[in-house]
Structure 1
Amino acid sequence: MVQLQLDQRTVTTLVAEATTAPSMHNAQPWRFRFLAAERLVLLRADPDRAMPRSDPGDRALHISCGAALFNLRVAAAHASLVPRTRLLPDPRDPLLLASVQLAALSEAPQEKDLWRLHPAIRQRRTSRHPFSEEDVPERGRATLRAAAAREGATLLFPGPWHVETLLELVRDAESRDLARAEGNEELVRWTRLGSEVDTAVDGVPAYAFGPRRRDGKAPVRDFSGRRQVPDRGDADFERTPHLALLGTRGDGPRDWLMAGQALERVLLESTLLGLSTSLTSHPLEERELRLLARDPGSGIGHVQMVLRLGYGPKGPATPRRPVPDVLSFG
C-alpha cells in the first residue's frame, strides 16, 4: 500500500470530521495543532470556551474534547491511517489533552471496526424533538453497552424507579437555574437568536431548540430560558423517556476524556442503529445532584452523562467553527 501523504488538506479533513462532535452548549472547546515532521496531532482545551458556572471543574469540557478525539480516530481509520493515541501526554501542560500520531497501515494494525463508524460522523445529530414511546430493543442496547465498554466506560439502562429519580433531578436543576439569575448567563452566551442565527459558528441556534414541552417527561433542556422565541411551537414529549447513563470508575481528567470517547462511540453506533439521541448534563452540573444520579447497585462509580434515546426526528445540524479557527500547523 502506498503511504498517504499527510498534507494540510488531508489533516484539515480529519479535523473537520473531529469537530462534528457534540459539546456542552455547542461551545466547541478544542484546538488542534499538527506537527508534520512527527505526523502528530495535538488536541488542546480552549479555556476561553470553558463554562465556570455550569462546569466549574471542566469535566464537561474534557468530555467534549474526548468526543472530538474519538471522531479524529474514526476519521483517521477511514483515511487508512492508524491513530496512536496518548491521553494527557505532558503532566506539565494540563491543557494538552491528547496526542495522536497518525501511523501508516504498514507500521501498525488498525483497530477493528473503527472505520465502520465513519458514515455516522456527519449523520449524527442532537434531537430536542419528541420521540416515540417505542423502547430500544435489547439487541440494540447490547450493542451500545459493548461500544461504551470498548472505551473503558459503562453504559447502564436504568429501571423505572431510577428513571423517575433522574427526572426529578432534572426538575431540581431546572428550578435552580430559574431561581438564580447568574445561572442563566452561560445559557444566554451560548445560544443564538434572531439575526445571530444566520452567522453563527458555535452555540445553539434557535432552530435547534426544538418545540417547547407541552406535556411529557423527556429531559430536554429549554435553551430559550426566559426569552421569547418567535414561531416556536410546543409538543407532547414521551411519557416514558428511554434513558441511559454513561459512567466511569474514576472521576479525573483522564476518566472524563475516556468518557467522551465512549460517549461518541455510543452516539455513532446509535446513529447506525437508526436511533435519535440527545444529551443532558443538567442533573450533573451540581455536585450534590450528580451524586444522587448514581444507582448504588449499578456498578457505575461516577455518572458522566445522561443520554436520551429513541425513535424520532434526527434534529438539525448545528453550526461549526471554520477549521482554520481551530487548527494550526507547525
Structure 2
Amino acid sequence: MASPLEEKTVARLVAAATAAPSMHNAQPWRFRFLTGERVVLLHADLERAMPRSDPDNRALHIGCGAALFNLRVASVHAGLAPRTRLVPEPEDPLLLAAVHLAGPAERAPDPDLARLYPAIRQRHTSRHPFADKDVPEDVRATLREAAAREGAELLFPGPWHADTVLELVRDAESRDVMDPAANEDLVRWTRLGPEADTAVDGVPEYAFGPRKRDGKAPVRDFTGRRPVADRGSTSFERTAHLALLSTPGDGPADWLRAGQALERVLLEATLADLATSLTSHALEDRDLRLLARDPGSGTGQVQMVLRLGYGPRGPATPRRPVADVLDVV
C-alpha cells in the first residue's frame, strides 16, 4: 500500500495547477484532496462563472481542463503517476475530474509529461506585438502532436481561413460595442489602478499590453472605454499566425479534453521559445463558433483560437493562494 502524501506535496501540485490560463484569469476551480485515497478532486467554482460571455460554462471547463493538465505534469515531476477520470459522477455536475496519485511502484510515471514542467511557470499570455516571422514546420508538427495526444486537433489555417477567423473576431467586437451588457464579465474581471497591484485574480492593467494601432493580431482590448495611464499604442503583426484547437464533440468532457490539449500545446510552444495568446471572443457565440470550422472538412468543434509568434511573453498574472482553492480531508 502506498504511503500517504504529505500535505505540502499536494499543495505544490495544486500551485502548479493554478498557473493554468483561464478566461479573464477568473481561476474557476476548486480542489479537494482525499488523503486516504490519494485522490485529488477537481470541482468547478460557479461563483467565478461568466453568465454573459460563457453561458454554457464551456470556457470554464476549458480553464479547468488546463489546470488539470498542469496537475498531471506536476504530479509526474514529483515522481507520481496520475490516473485521471473525467466527469466521474454525472449526478454531480460540479465535479469535473478525479485524479488518483499513484506511486511509482504502482505505475511508471510518463517522462514526456515531466519534461514540460519548467514551462508551467514560464508560460504567460502575451498581448504584445509579435515579429512577422513564420513558425517553422517542425514546431507546428510538435504542437499538432501535443494536441492529438490529448484527443484534440490543432489546425494551422491557410490565409483565407485565417482571414475568416479574424473577421469573426471583429464581428464579436462589434457585437460587444452594440451591447454594453456584453462587457459586464470583462469589467468584473479587470483590475485597474491600485487594485492591479494587490489582485489575486482577474487581468491587471499591467498585463493589458499596448493598444493596437494597426495590424491583424486578434488581441482583446481589456480597457473598453476606460482610461489606463501610460499604456500607449503600437503596430502589431501584419500576418497573424493562428492555430485552431478543435474536439470531435462539444460536451463537458470534450471541453475538459480541449483544456488539457490547450495547455499541452501552450507548454510545448513555451519550450520552443514561442510567445502565445488566446482568444475565445469569436467562439462565445455558438453561431459564430460554427463558422470558425475548417471550410474544407467542416468537422470538429473549434474550442480556442491561439495566436503564436516570436516576441515578449508578457508578465505573470496574479494567482489565488493555494489555501483558498484547496481543501484536504
Calculate the TM-score normalised by the size of structure 1.
0.98
Q: Which AA in structure 2 matches 1:70?
A: F
- 2:258 pairs with 1:247: no
Partner SS for 1:247 = strand
Other-structure match for 1:166: 165
Other-structure match for 1:133: 132
Q: Partners of 1:133 and 1:66 in 2: how far apart?
A: 31
Other-structure match for 1:197: 196
Q: Partners of 2:279 and 2:297 in 1: how far apart?
A: 20
Other-structure match for 2:18: 19
Counterparts of residues 29-108 of structure 1 (less than 5 Å): 29-108=28-107
Contact map agreement 2:74 2:114 (CA 8 A) in 1: yes
Q: Which AA in structure 2 matches 1:146?
A: E
CA drift of 1:280 comes to: 0.2
Q: Partners of 2:184 and 2:251 in 1: how far apart?
A: 26
Other-structure match for 2:182: 183
CA drift of 1:198 comes to: 1.4
- 2:312 pairs with 1:319: no
Partner SS for 2:115 = helix
CA drift of 1:298 comes to: 3.9
Q: Partners of 1:203 and 1:7 in 2: how far apart?
A: 30
Q: Deviation digits for residues 35-79 of structure 1, max 9, x if unmatched?
A: 000000000000000001100100000000000000000000000
Partner SS for 1:89 = coil
Q: Partners of 2:64 and 2:272 in 1: how far apart?
A: 24
Q: Which AA in structure 2 matches 1:185?
A: E
Other-structure match for 1:296: 295
CA drift of 1:159 comes to: 0.1
Q: Deviation digits for residues 199-227 of structure 1, max 9, x if unmatched?
A: 10000000000000001010000000111
Contact map agreement 1:156 1:298 (CA 8 A) in 2: no
Q: Structure 1 unaligned runs (5+)?
A: none
Counterparts of residues 218-257 of structure 1 (less than 5 Å): 218-257=217-256
Q: Which AA in structure 2 matches 1:124?
A: R
Q: Partners of 1:300 and 1:46 in 2: how far apart?
A: 31
Partner SS for 1:110 = coil
Other-structure match for 2:8: 9
Contact map agreement 1:129 1:210 (CA 8 A) in 2: yes
CA drift of 1:112 comes to: 4.0
The runs of at least 4 aligned residues of structure 1 exceeding 6 Å deviation read: none
Contact map agreement 1:281 1:305 (CA 8 A) in 2: yes
Contact map agreement 2:161 2:295 (CA 8 A) in 1: no
Q: Which AA in structure 1 matches 2:234?
A: A
Q: Partners of 2:119 and 2:320 in 1: how far apart?
A: 20
Calculate the TM-score normalised by the size of structure 2.
0.98
Contact map agreement 1:42 1:99 (CA 8 A) in 2: yes
CA RMSD of aligned residues (A): 1.1
Partner SS for 1:263 = helix
Q: Partners of 2:3 and 2:277 in 1: how far apart?
A: 36
CA drift of 1:288 comes to: 1.2
Q: Deviation digits for residues 244-295 of structure 1, max 9, x if unmatched?
A: 0000000000000000000000000000000000000000001111111111
Partner SS for 2:244 = strand
CA drift of 1:29 comes to: 0.1
Q: Partners of 1:119 and 1:78 in 2: how far apart?
A: 10
CA drift of 1:300 comes to: 4.3
Q: Which AA in structure 2 matches 1:320?
A: R
